[in-house]
Structure 1
Amino acid sequence: MKKYYLSLILTCGFLLSSAQMGSFALSLGLPQNDFKANTDATGFGADLSLAFPFQKGVPVYLGLDFNYMVYGRNAQDEDLFATINDQNGAELARLDIPLRIVNTNSIFGTHAFIRGIIPLDMIQPYGEVLFGFRYISTNTKILDRSNDRRWATEEDSDVISRETVLDDWILSYGFGGGFLIKVSSNFFVDLRANFFKGQRAQYFDGNDTESWEVTFSGSNFDEATVTGDDLQFETQPRESTTDMLVIKLGVAFKI
């Protein structure tokens, strides 16, 4: 996954250096249709859009849009206990394992688009169609709350484990539009909205992860470590199509 994110950053850097139009925006994601009926989660995140002219002198652009939103995040403290026994089963010590469980539900989307702009002076309306994918996931991070970080597995960190509990790739397509409001010759305020149709997927929302109970399933301890494999939880994911309306407010620039 780290290699994937590094490749994505390098790709975005290359595209940004060769793009003719770019925008950065804050985004609000509102589930629609069956997705809305199945969850009341609202996504908050950021959006990067890079566009390239289809032909010189023609106000039509081809581009790529990247969007990341968190639609549910919560943290809870857990105190787990275990005993160390000798070979005869007699208790030698009782261990207190203070943990913090952080659950994050997120959606990452990448879409190709074609955009047509009406090149007016101060306000330039535009419309676009988009096609691509979204990656929906729930990730759990287990943190060590002990003063000496005795249970953490990473040096100079309080992280015991990170785990992707559930994830799914979704085919996604849609349409949208917005307005470029001119501030200077190459700088604009960008107001945009996109509606996406999304395939059926399984997912959790913040209400699900908030009610998770963490239990210890392991039996072997030493005084130095406890691993994330020793932690379990059970819950049933939700399932529906994943239509979404994404509203964006940001800035755009032309090179």
Structure 2
Amino acid sequence: MFSNGQSTFGLSLNGFAPVGELKKDSPGIWGGGFSSDIAFQINGSPIHLGGMLGVTRYGSEVRDGWHGEDLGDVRIRRNNEMAYMLGLIRVKPPVSGNFQPYADFFGGFSYIATSAHFRDGPLKEEWDSVTDIDDFAMNYGFGGGLEIFINEFLSLDFNVKSIKSSSVEYLTPQSVSYNKTDEVYDLTVKKSRFDHLNFGFGIKLLMSEW
């Protein structure tokens, strides 16, 4: 009833899973995040052009206690995160009814970083943060999804994305350890392609044709 290939603006919760070289080098990482995307229908055709922004956390590690004379007794949390910006081409075949499948093709880049955040305790305010390592990756990939129309303004969205990446340097929770003898953190920097799968569930706002 509502399926006519509309332009859309969407918000999605996402799961993250490593594949390929990343899974081989760092099988223990996993994560989740959120993203937003916008896609404009071109002249009533099945082709849509747009983009996607998102943030994913693929692991976190916390240590409370003594951190040497300089820091003392503090809480340090390290977050491993990826932010990405992707252009997209979306193809929506003409269908009838309340179900709209689609295919996506992506290209863009991501920023992958591990940052340490310092507090005096779990409920205390953060008083400092540092970036341990960061890197940029070029990305491309493809995906697909299914919209289920609620009414003429909204649809539920289920999607999956396979993202390929250039090689980057990164850390994981398993590659950071505290050396009690020297009272410093030992960081084992990894390097591999950051290929991954994204599984998403969200909602889309249906807009008029562009």
Pairwise TM-score range, normalised by the shorter structure:
0.7 to 0.9
- Cα separation, partners in 2 of 1:125 and 1:23, compared to 1, 3 Å: same
**8 A contact 1:80–1:216 mirrored in 2:** no
Q: Specify which structure has the higher proportion of helix.
A: 1
Uncovered stretches (5+) of structure 2, i.e. residues with no partner: 1-5
| Residue among 157, 168, 177 paired with 1:201 | 168
| Residue equivalent to 1:243 | 195
Q: Specify which structure has the higher proportion of strand.
A: 2
Residue-by-residue CA offset, 1:84-127 (whole Å, 9 max, x unaligned):
xxxxxxxxxxx993200110001111100010112322111111
**8 A contact 1:52–1:62 mirrored in 2:** yes
Between the aligned partners of 1:237 and 1:45, the Cα distance in structure 2 is 23
| Residue among 64, 72, 81 paired with 2:59 | 72
| Residue equivalent to 2:3 | none
| Residue equivalent to 1:21 | 8
**8 A contact 2:80–2:172 mirrored in 1:** yes
| Residue equivalent to 1:58 | 45
For 1:107-126, what aligned pairs fall within 5 Å after superposition? 107-120=82-95, 121-126=97-102
Uncovered stretches (5+) of structure 1, i.e. residues with no partner: 1-18, 83-94, 148-156, 218-231
> Whose radius of gyration is greater, 1 or 2?
1
| Residue among 73, 80, 87 paired with 1:105 | 80
| Residue among 48, 70, 74 paired with 2:36 | 48
2:94 is paired with a residue whose SS is coil
Matched, 1:129 2:96: no
**8 A contact 2:75–2:122 mirrored in 1:** no
Between the aligned partners of 1:37 and 1:160, the Cα distance in structure 2 is 36
- Cα separation, partners in 2 of 1:160 and 1:34, compared to 1, 3 Å: same
Name the amino acid aligned to 1:133.
Answer: F
**8 A contact 1:106–1:137 mirrored in 2:** yes
- Cα separation, partners in 2 of 1:146 and 1:51, compared to 1, 3 Å: closer
1:215 is displaced (CA, Å) by 8.2
Q: How many residues align?
A: 200
- Cα separation, partners in 2 of 1:61 and 1:214, compared to 1, 3 Å: farther
**8 A contact 1:97–1:146 mirrored in 2:** no
RMSD: 2.4
TM-score, normalised on structure 2?
Answer: 0.87
For 1:84-103, what aligned pairs fall within 5 Å after superposition? 97-103=72-78
For 1:105-254, what aligned pairs fall within 5 Å after superposition? 105-120=80-95, 121-145=97-121, 158-209=125-176, 211-213=177-179, 232-254=184-206
1:238 is displaced (CA, Å) by 1.1
